[in-house]
A and B are shown apart, each in its own frame.
Chain A
């Protein structure tokens, strides 16, 4: 089926490891793992998603006649959970999740309709300290997966809203301006703004949107241009968030981006995106969405982010030091009554954390060596009787030993 694919052992291993390191980092920050279903009732999703997002859902009716959908993102289900089953849990709540999401549209890049997301949500806390926590967590998460160079661009939805309030334009032109910005079409934007007689500092800011980024100096520069309270408050908040990110120890990977273009109907405050090296699109996206929880009947400020696990593992797969599948430590072959020895030895080695595979059929010495090469394990232990095994390792001569001694040496070699 187009847009769906199998992940073979190497890819699956990289993806799983990246997912585990992300969840482990989130847990280290006190975020609790929740698992929400793959299917949600449309009534729930309608509350939280925009028209375009709803259009892209795989929908069907269940036998009771309810319209249900496969989830396209997992923040809305988490919000449902916080306002529902967790409504008595005191706020703030720190939750994280991992799982596949589906879309009827094939993505613009990889033509995938099933992708994997890992995310964290901090619900019930407002203000720069909470914003900075989530951004710092996103940074540490990218680090935890093994991405070597990354950066985070931090902006503010209110900066944009303030400008749109202040800019003097007829309503219809304003909505065209919004549409042009959403489409990142600055040629149309320029012609819309050129045709209007009243030029203000806000006009200038809109035109320079893609270039409004840099270090803390950009806040000063923008502060000198805006003359509206919403944007000014946003700049002050960003300045504070930046200070806190420096305190978190990630000041050097943070840029300020006042021209970030995101879904401004959804985001209400600080927003951010994470980029990896040489990758044409963001790997992590997040921000403050204070309006969502109220739609589920438990008004609460909230912020969070999501990491595209597919992109992370693609980055890792393409990394200069390509990852290899972890090797099997021992291949346990057997002959006749050696089977019970092989089973016992397998259990022992696994207790020591080794990867051991036991053969499914009795083999001669030569057959065992062929099988060993096929499974590519570090050691071959051919169990001959209940008390004697033949142990081979690459570059060493084969030795006959009691199984206990082989177990002890293999386990000792681990150290």
Chain B
């Protein structure tokens, strides 16, 4: 699929795109604009092939070997663990996965939670694991967008969602009562690419490591 010395990297659309392109430019691997990539989805730049995919699809491209490397938020990896290597914390796209309830809600610490907590989220797997580890029964309502709305109309007690600045939560009169984890962009690698095309892949990895501010 990919020629011997070419490395392919899956880059996510959405909030991480600008950071990912800045990192690729800084590392000297590729200088691309979001518009350019958005038009073509796939750009072959000699030593590097850049593939633009939806954030949740990055692990699939990497796990199947359609891309050697991928840039993806840790939040996505929580939901879809795979057979890839998670190599580098790229140190951008920081956000937290939080449990938030309406301002007026009486829920705070775990001792104040009801016997059965109802939460809405785009992260059902992570949510269930987290509550289970705390011995809390939970009913997860899986939503695909506008999760903030759900508690306001009485669908659920709270939501589990990503927040970078907390602004959307405040705008919707929600307050954070627990932090499940923090996420940043990660570099992931296909397990076979590291072994069958070691030199090219490792060289790209170390350039990205340096560009993301790690000591080489």
Q: Is the CB of B195 within 8 A of A184?
A: no
Which of B78-86, B97-105, B147-155, B170-178 has 4 or more CB atoms under 8 Å from chain A?
B78-86
User: How many angstroms between the C-alpha atoms of A282 and B83 in the bound complex?
Assistant: 11
Please, how many residues of chain B have a CB less than 8 angstroms from a CB on the other chain? 27
Q: Hey, which chain B residues are within 8 Å of A277, CB to CB?
A: 196
Which of B15-23, B136-144, B186-194 has 4 or more CB atoms under 8 Å from chain A?
B186-194
- B70 CB → nearest A CB, Å: 12
Q: Is the CB of B196 within 8 A of A151?
A: yes
Q: Is the CB of B85 within 8 A of A275?
A: no
Against B, the Cβ 8 Å flags (1 = close, 0 = not) of A189-227 are 011000000000000000000110110000000000000
Option from A109, A187, A214 in Cβ contact (under 8 Å) with B88: A187
B6 at the interface (CB under 8 A from A): no
Q: Is the CB of A214 within 8 A of B198?
A: yes
Option from A108, A183, A210, A282 in Cβ contact (under 8 Å) with B189: A210
Option from A187, A211, A275, A278 in Cβ contact (under 8 Å) with B2: A278
- B205 CB → nearest A CB, Å: 8
Q: Hey, which chain B residues are within 8 Å of A187, CB to CB?
A: 74, 86-89, 186
B116 at the interface (CB under 8 A from A): no
Please name the residue on chain A nearest to B198 by beta carbon: A213
- A215 CB → nearest B CB, Å: 11
Option from B65, B85, B86, B88 in Cβ contact (under 8 Å) with A278: B65
Option from A109, A184, A214 in Cβ contact (under 8 Å) with B86: A184
Q: Is the CB of A275 within 8 A of B196?
A: yes
- Number of cross-chain contacts by CB at 8 Å: 64
Q: Is the CB of A108 within 8 A of B83?
A: yes
8 Å CB contacts to B: which residues of A125-160? 151, 153
- B119 CB → nearest A CB, Å: 25
8 Å CB contacts to B: which residues of A265-310? 273, 275, 277-282
User: How many angstroms between the C-alpha atoms of A242 and B149 in the bound complex?
Assistant: 62
Q: Is the CB of B85 within 8 A of A279?
A: no
Q: Hey, which chain B residues are within 8 Å of A184, CB to CB?
A: 83-86, 191
Q: Hey, which chain B residues are within 8 Å of A278, CB to CB?
A: 1-2, 65
Q: A210-B87, A281-B65 are in contact. Are A275 and B186 (CB under 8 A)?
A: no
Against B, the Cβ 8 Å flags (1 = close, 0 = not) of A355-399 are 000000000000000000000000000000000000000000000
Q: Can you offer 21 A-B residue contacts whose CB atoms are under 8 A? A: A108-B83, A109-B64, A151-B196, A183-B86, A184-B83, A184-B84, A184-B191, A187-B74, A187-B89, A210-B85, A210-B189, A213-B198, A273-B195, A275-B192, A275-B195, A277-B196, A279-B192, A280-B191, A280-B192, A281-B65, A281-B191
Instruction: Name 11 extra pairs, CB < 8 A, besides A183-B81, A184-B86, A277-B196.
Output: A108-B82, A108-B83, A184-B84, A187-B87, A190-B89, A275-B192, A280-B64, A280-B66, A280-B193, A281-B65, A281-B192
Interface residues of B (CB under 8 A from A): 1-2, 63-66, 74, 81-89, 186, 189-196, 198, 202
**8 tightest CB-CB pairs across the interface, nearest first?**
A280-B65, A184-B85, A185-B86, A187-B89, A278-B1, A280-B192, A280-B64, A280-B190
